[in-house]
Each structure stands twice: as structure tokens, then as C-alpha cells.
A and B are shown apart, each in its own frame.
Chain A
């Protein structure tokens, strides 16, 4: 698990109220948006702002679509692509 992966799991733990270690069980296939009814637009917006702060990236609203939150793998791939581009 690299730093980006760890930071992203920590942010999701905060948003979802997971206990320490619980997010370790996330795999690339773990579903996010569709499978987690508690992720409303305010929670998703907070998640994105926190990703910007903790990963030091800037996310444009045009980049946000449903597929991004389809699975943990897709969100992590997006974070990594932002960091590579930075």
C-alpha cells in the first residue's frame, strides 16, 4: 500500500466513520457511491475537498462523474493520475 492509497483510505474512513483498520479491507472492486447510501452530495463534496487538501491536488468539477465513485479502485486511479500530472 503506497502513501496515496493510505491517505485515500484514511479520508474514506473519516467520511464513513470506519474504525482504524476497517478500510484496509477495501479492494479495487469495493463499491463506493452506488453501494453506500450515506454518501450524499454534501459528503462527496467534503470528500473531494479533503482529497485536495491531503493529497495536494486540484480537482476540477468537470472531472467528477459517477464512474469516479463506482469503486475504490477507480477513485484511487483518479487520485494517482492527478498526482502524476502535478
Chain B
């Protein structure tokens, strides 16, 4: 496992260098990971890397790129739209010569154009957004302030909104609310039940689960036929 970078296109035509975690031994099969988004990205990162470790053991290379505005990225998330993430994943796919994609949760809402592969535990953008709006309303209430979903969205669509520590632009909120996991040719949806165990993105305290990582990596390795 090593840290690398890839040239990531930015809105307005500029480019940035973004970080990527890779298992790269120049092998034939190379899986691009489209990571889970927002809070789920943090909760599932360790699980994601554990899946990559197992793919490595099965003779499969993999790359986990940072999306602009996320993780180690120096870009301002408040200037980013979902389409920028799709372009970032396209760029990472080209740079690393990916042969397949494995999208995790919300990562499947911004799938790169040309790769076939898998989407683990698909989720609607509106569900991710609703959970973050709720978390904000609940913590505001604990602090003695009343907020509502409708008022927050109205304000957010015009001026952007901070949710669960993430600064989201009006355009990000608008698109996120409408993005649904597509029935894309070549992409197989993998419901969480196939992997089994408790859903790690729901866990109040981030955790990992070796059996779940084994199960997901096995599905990918068998699917690739490595």
C-alpha cells in the first residue's frame, strides 16, 4: 500500500493534484474505488481499505482516490458539485488504468463514465442529505434553536449550507437531492445483505468487520475471475 497522487480536473478548467491510496503491482486487473461520501466516507474508510488489502491478496490492484474537497484534498468543498467528483473519478480511472470500479454507498451516485463493476449498498442522494439535515436539526435543538428541513433547504439552495461539518453549495444540495443510483449497464448492485453483518455506515462509533471485508472482496475477486 502506498500514497500516490493523480491529476484531478477542477471546475473552471484548472487542475489539482489529489491524493490516492494505491495497491499497485502493475497487475492486469485494477479496481478504482468510488468512495462513500461525507460522514459515511469517514465511517467506511477503514472497511474500504480492508477490502483493498484483500483484493491485493487475490492478485488485484486497487486505487482509492481522494475526491476534490474530501479527505486530504486542499480544494474548498463549498465550490464542488457532484459532477466534479464524477470527472475526478474519470481522471483517476485514466491515470491508474483502472479496469473495473467498486463504488461504495454514495460513491455510486458519481460513477465514472466507462467502467463496469459493482455498487455496494446503494443509497439515494436524498437519503444522505436528509440524514445530514436531521443531524443538524437535532444538534440545533439540543442547543435550544429550532430549525426545519424546509427552511434549511430554502436557505441552502440560495447560499449554501454547512451540514455535519461539510460546507455544501446550493448546487451540491440541489443535485444531491435528485441523484439516485442508476441502472447503469455493466454495474452490478450489491445489497448489503449479500455481505451480511451490521451496516458499518450506521455505526455510532466507526468500526471495521473482517468478515464483511472478506465477503465483499470475495464477490469482486470472483466477479473479475482473478
B residues whose Cβ falls under 8 Å from a Cβ of A: 39, 127, 130-139, 142, 148-149, 164, 198-199, 201-205, 207
Contact = CB atoms under 8 A, between A and B. Distances in A.
A49 B130 contact: yes
A64 interface: yes
B135 A17 contact: no
B138 A46 contact: no
Interface in A16-44: 16-18, 36, 38-44
Given A15-B204, A17-B207, A49-B127, A42 B198 contact: no
Contact of B148 (A18, A47, A53, A61): A61
Tell me the dominant secondary structure on chain A's binding face: helix
Contacts of A39: 204
A49 B39 CA distance: 14
Contacts of B201: 46
Given A41-B142, A45-B132, A61-B149, A13 B198 contact: yes
B164 to A, nearest CB: 6
Interface in A35-86: 36, 38-50, 53, 61, 64
Given A44-B135, A61-B148, A38 B204 contact: yes
A48 B133 CA distance: 12
In the A-B complex, the 3 residue pairs with the closest CB atoms? A43-B204, A45-B134, A45-B135
Tell me the dominant secondary structure on chain B's binding face: helix
Contacts of A38: 204-205
Given A17-B204, A46-B131, A50-B199, 7 more contacts: A41-B136, A42-B164, A43-B204, A45-B133, A45-B135, A46-B135, A64-B138
A12 to B, nearest CB: 10
Contacts of B135: 41-42, 44-46
Given A61-B137, A61-B148, A64-B138, A46 B205 contact: no
Contacts of A45: 131-135, 138
Contacts of B132: 45
A4 B96 CA distance: 47
B138 A44 contact: yes
Identify which of B137, B139, B198, B201 gathers the most chain A CB atoms within 10 Å of its CB: B198
B210 to A, nearest CB: 14
Nearest to A19: B198
A16 B206 CA distance: 10
Contacts of A53: 127
Contacts of B138: 41, 44-45, 64
